[in-house]
Amino acid sequence: MEKQVYQQTKDELLKSFDTNEKLGLSEQEVLIRTEKYGKNKLAEAKKRSLFLRFIDQLKDFMVLILIGASLLSFLMAILEKKPEEMFEGGLIIAIVLINALLGIMQESKAEKALESIKAMSSPHAKVIRGGKDLIIDVADLVIGDIVVLEAGDYMPADVRIIQSVNLKADESALTGEAVPVEKSALPLEDLNIPLGDRVNLGFMGTVVTYGRGLAVVTSVGMDTEIGKIAAMLNETESDTTPLQKNIAQLGKFLAIIALAITAVIFAITIIEAYAFSNAPVTFEVWKDALLTSVALAVAAIPEGLPAIITIVLALGMQNLVKQRAIMRTLPAVETLGSTTIICSDKTGTLTQNVMTVQELYLNKNTQKVSNLKMTPQIERLVSYGVLCNDTKIREENDSFVKIGDPTEIAFVDLAITLKENPITINASYDRIHELPFDSERKLMTTVHKFKDGIYAVIKGAPDVLFKRTKFIDDNGSLIPNDAHTIKEFETANNNMADKALRVLAIAYKKVDNVKDVSKLSYADLETDVTLLGLVGMIDPARPEAKDAIVQCKKAGITTIMITGDHKNTAVAIATELGILGKDDIAITGHELDLLSDDEFAQRLAHIRVYARVSPENKVRIVKAWRATGLVVAMTGDGVNDAPSIKQADIGIAMGITGTEVAKGAADMVLTDDNFATIVNAVSEGRAIFSNIKKSIHFLLSCNIGEIVTIFLGTTLGILLFGETVTTLTAAQILWVNLVTDSLMAIGLGLEPKEPDIMDYAPRDSKKSIFSDGLGFKIAWQGLMIGLLTFAAYYIGYTLHFDEAIAASQGHLAASEQAQTYAQTLTFMVLAISQLIHAFNARSETHSPFKLKMNKFLIMAFFISLVLQLVTVAIPFTRNIFGIQVPTLLEWGLIVALSVTPLIVVEITKIFNKVSKKKKTNL
Ligand code: ATP
């Protein structure tokens, strides 16, 4: 019987998968295998077809009634052979269909934007192909690929491990087992071993938590264990944001109000027709009343608002990518702007992550690298730093190419500066065992064969190593560790740290008489060590971080530094950057552990620097801040940072240095690892949110305007004209809704950032967006638009009625003619005043003329205006909309009434500014 992959030896495995450990597969072979086995992707749920999505747009109850009523009127017109009336029904149906089409276009635009961003943050895997180390999309992996695994990676497919250096994986996603499993490269003998015990296999989607290794891909995509369980990955799951949920709820509430008003309008019209009208009540009256009121309901219910929010968020997301921040979820984009606390890592985010060794301490002497005299002891320190080091070094054109962690590269650079060849050092002393660095232990150990035996070389945080020191190497002779000598080391460490240097200690331990070195653990190697010396390296602050912190202060955002580094180093950098003020404090992770939750909560607001933190400390810090109700952003990069990243409102992962797991847990990935980018993203987040508010402001006030216009016609009409009047026909209402709504709302969603967006304290994410006066503004501005539009009707009617009577027409004919003109004016004023009103919504405080130009809004304005004017310019459309060409005087009137909201709102803005100035001067 053929052996299972976990039973095979390495050679059998490589042979059966026809691959090579050192070279991997060739590109050609990869193509063949991709063709054969498909992409390494879990199947996604099928997208809804275009037709179904179209139907979705139409299935709204009100839209159905509207279509039904229009069809009815269309059929009636055919039966009665009244072609001019056929138009109305046809027109309504056409507008409804165009609206549905627009809806789909918007939806797919938002979807495309989201998909392209999702693709950007898709996970990557490290493979060896054609003898080269490559980083590729996980989806491009094929069976037989050799993958390199490191702590913080996701298992990119189902794999068989062929090399394991302390490799451990968290398989809880698959097996429920919370404790990481140690992974081995050895074959297993038994057949039918349960999944969780197949320790030489790795399963797609589980997490490498520790160590490193090599593995062969054995199955991909739906053939993997996770693929078998999750037959379908339902990625279309909706990603609704809190605001969208609120707005959807508000929409329902507004729908009820709109429906109630519509019902009232309908009822009044019918009652009035029966009770007061002299003319007989025909089917026509019923049909017109129904069409108008249902059209009003369709126009006034802001059913498109959640979709518009999605579009604005998705477009904002695209813009953020250009600013080097990839947002992974829509809700996070929405929350981003209300960020109040930014907890940032120091190394690489606030600093440049370019380390240069500046000082050494050994033999009781601190020396500057710039004028160092080489001694055998220094040579030893330097070569230990190169040996206990994972930097990949190549020689190319007489210089060294180094890939690795900047802290480690600093040791290699030191060797090069001192004219030592790091490649030769590494080649001279084979590494036979290692305990990789992790931020919990803050140590790294490698074991080598030296001339006089086997030695472990240990480097790491000095304070940690001091506690494990048994001897101190003083010029080659070993002095037993005593309080005095270690004190000298501590002072040297503090002195370097005070100069903002990151300090690492180097120690060693002889390990003789050991049968199997590879079994040696921390307890064997990292205790009772001999301390050799200290190395201090500078990692300069990012110049742009300082400005960003000033900006944060102005914007009411608190910056907190969290670092694995020494407290003094952290304090020095935090002071330089302006994070740590006079009354602020810095504490270590250990000091934090000693605080009770209450004590911590009391001090929380004053602690600006946390040093020597563990990943658990980070989670506690995020939780404590979140308990205050503020919106917290937290950065991270390592595999252990995933819990704190998840815990934060905005979890941020480093795009360059971050592990796949940190990126997978994050809401935002920084493609440049830069603190300034976070602050910039927050300001963009504020702009996105304020743009959503602008769209809502515009849409809701316009809807109110539409309702008021029709409502006044029905109610005030009785007082003014002795009967209810139809200020707008159903087709006119729907048309206004079509040309003014979405395009302008999206235009507003693309407003450039207002200049003072970071001059205010963050928005309280729990408060309704309608507080702070927006609700009131929407109400009165909507009312104003409605009143002005009704005024247009009144004036138009009066002018033409008197004119018609003077031309000795009968009362009924005069009234009919006057109504057509009045409706024309209403139709024009409602549409144009709304288009102009969009400019009011550009800013709640600034004049639209003083803001940066928004070419999208201007384009939307002209497109919409032209569409509106076309209706009156062409005889055919005039006919189907039932309107007339206004006179010059009436055009003047239309313009005057339409610009009035702009003038009035401008005046209130000036007034508010003056009164605010007065208040601040008091
Ligand atoms: P942050 O990015 O959160 O500011 P950090 O990068 O300073 O943190 P860690 O990488 O966890 O934090 O490092 C913590 C400490 O561990 C360092 O101050 C240093 O003393 C030690 N250290 C860092 N890198 C290594 C390494 N490669 N080998 C040994 N020790 C290391």
Q: Is the pLDDT of residue 229 over 80?
A: no
618 C-beta closer than 6 A to ligand 1? no
Q: Is the pLDDT of residue 729 over 60?
A: yes
Query: Which is more confident, 491 or 282?
Result: 491
For ligand 1, what atom is nearest to the CA of residue 503?
Answer: 20
Contact indicator for 172, 189 with CB cutoff of 8 Å: no
CATH node for 10-40+141-231: 2.70.150.10
For ligand 1, what atom is nearest to the CA of residue 390?
Answer: 27
- CATH 2.70.150.10 placement within the chain: 10-40+141-231
Q: How confident is residue 265, by pLDDT bands cut at 50, 70 and 90? A: confident
Q: Is the pLDDT of residue 195 over 90?
A: no
Contact indicator for 787, 712 with CB cutoff of 8 Å: yes
Instruction: Output the residue whose Cα is nearest ligand 1's atom 13.
Output: 564
Widest CA span of the chain, in angstroms?
A: 125
- Write the DSSP assignment of 771-789 as a string of letters: TTTHHHHHHHHHHHHHHHH
- Taking the centre of ligand 1 as the mean of its atom positions, its distance from the CA of residue 344, in whole angstroms, is 15
Catalytic residue among 145, 153, 288, 345: 345
The bridge status of strand 356-362 relative to strand 365-368 is antiparallel
> Residue 872: its pLDDT value, please?
94
DSSP 8-state code for residue 640: G
Q: How confident is residue 596, by pLDDT bands cut at 50, 70 and 90? A: very high
Query: Which is more confident, 803 or 381?
Result: 381
Contact indicator for 504, 359 with CB cutoff of 8 Å: no
Q: How confident is residue 85, by pLDDT bands cut at 50, 70 and 90? A: low
- CATH 3.40.50.1000 placement within the chain: 325-351+541-673
pLDDT digits (tens, 9 = 90+) for 373-384: 889 999 999 999
pLDDT digits (tens, 9 = 90+) for 752-777: 999 899 998 998 888 888 888 899 99
- Write the DSSP assignment of 490-542 as a string of letters: HHHHHHHHHTTEEEEEEEEEE--S-S-GGG--HHHHSSSEEEEEEEEEE-PBP
Q: What percent of the chain has pLDDT over 90?
A: 57
Q: Is the dihedral of CA 752, 756, 758, 763 positive or negative?
A: negative
Query: Which is more confident, 808 or 390?
Result: 390
Amino acid at 37: Y
Q: Is the pLDDT of residue 468 over 90?
A: yes
In a 3-state reduction of DSSP, which class is residue 585? strand
User: What are the CB-based long-range contacts (under 8 Å, 24+) for 352-356?
Assistant: 352/539, 352/540, 352/541, 352/542, 353/406, 353/539, 353/657, 353/673, 354/406, 354/539, 354/540, 355/406, 355/407, 355/409, 355/410, 355/502, 355/537, 355/538, 355/539, 356/410, 356/413, 356/537, 356/538
- Domain 52-113+240-319+682-753+768-921 part of CATH 3.40.50.720: no
H/E stretch holding 628 reads none
pLDDT digits (tens, 9 = 90+) for 494-513: 999 999 999 999 999 999 88
Which region among 102-106, 116-120, 385-389, 773-777 has the lowest average model confidence (pLDDT)?
Answer: 116-120
221 C-beta closer than 6 A to ligand 1? no
Q: In whole angstroms, what is the distance from residue 793 CA to residue 826 CA? A: 5
Instruction: Output the residue whose Cα is nearest ligand 1's atom 17.
Output: 565
| Mutation pick for ligand 1 pocket among 347, 618, 656, 659 (CB with most ligand atoms within 8 Å) | 347
Contact indicator for 105, 111 with CB cutoff of 8 Å: no
Q: How confident is residue 45, by pLDDT bands cut at 50, 70 and 90? A: low
Q: How confident is residue 202, by pLDDT bands cut at 50, 70 and 90? A: very high
Q: Is the pLDDT of residue 234 over 50?
A: no
| Mutation pick for ligand 1 pocket among 387, 407, 464 (CB with most ligand atoms within 8 Å) | 407
CATH superfamily entry for domain 325-351+541-673: HAD superfamily/HAD-like (3.40.50.1000)
Q: How confident is residue 237, by pLDDT bands cut at 50, 70 and 90? A: very low
Q: How confident is residue 236, by pLDDT bands cut at 50, 70 and 90? A: very low
For 201, 301, 577, 783, the CA distances from 346, given in Å and listed in that order, are 37, 50, 11, 53
Q: Is the pLDDT of residue 723 over 90?
A: no
Instruction: Output the residue whose Cα is nearest ligand 1's atom 1.
Output: 563
Q: How confident is residue 552, by pLDDT bands cut at 50, 70 and 90? A: very high
pLDDT digits (tens, 9 = 90+) for 685-709: 999 999 999 999 999 999 999 989 9
pLDDT digits (tens, 9 = 90+) for 575-592: 999 999 888 999 999 999
Q: How confident is residue 518, by pLDDT bands cut at 50, 70 and 90? A: confident
Which region among 157-171, 344-358, 708-722 has the lowest average model confidence (pLDDT)?
Answer: 708-722
- CATH 3.40.1110.10 placement within the chain: 374-534
For 66, 262, 497, 509, the CA distances from 295, given in Å and listed in that order, are 7, 9, 72, 85
- In this structure, CATH architecture of domain 374-534: 3-Layer(aba) Sandwich (3.40)
Q: Does the active-site annotation cover 345?
A: yes
- Taking the centre of ligand 1 as the mean of its atom positions, its distance from the CA of residue 166, in whole angstroms, is 20
Instruction: Output the residue whose Cα is nearest ligand 1's atom 24.
Output: 407
> Residue 397: its pLDDT value, please?
85
873: Cβ–Cβ under 8 A, 6 or more apart, which residues?
none
> Residue 231: its pLDDT value, please?
57
DSSP 8-state code for residue 363: T
- Taking the centre of ligand 1 as the mean of its atom positions, its distance from the CA of residue 300, in whole angstroms, is 59
Query: Which is more confident, 92 or 337?
Result: 337
> In 418-482, which ranges are continuous DSSP H helix?
422-428, 462-466
564 C-beta closer than 6 A to ligand 1? yes
675 C-beta closer than 6 A to ligand 1? no
DSSP 8-state code for residue 233: B
Q: How confident is residue 544, by pLDDT bands cut at 50, 70 and 90? A: very high
Q: Is the dihedral of CA 310, 316, 322, 323 positive or negative?
A: negative
Q: What is the average pLDDT value for the chain, to the nearest integer?
A: 89
Contact indicator for 799, 819 with CB cutoff of 8 Å: no
Question: Averaged over 538-547, what is the pLDDT?
Answer: 95
542 C-beta closer than 6 A to ligand 1? no
407 C-beta closer than 6 A to ligand 1? yes
- Write the DSSP assignment of 727-791 as a string of letters: SS-HHHHHHHHHHHHHHHHHHHHTPPPPTTTTSSPPP-TTS-TTTTTHHHHHHHHHHHHHHHHHH
For ligand 1, what atom is nearest to the CA of residue 346?
Answer: 4
pTM for the structure as a whole: 0.85
563 C-beta closer than 6 A to ligand 1? yes
442 C-beta closer than 6 A to ligand 1? yes
- Output the six-digit token pair for 467: 């506690």
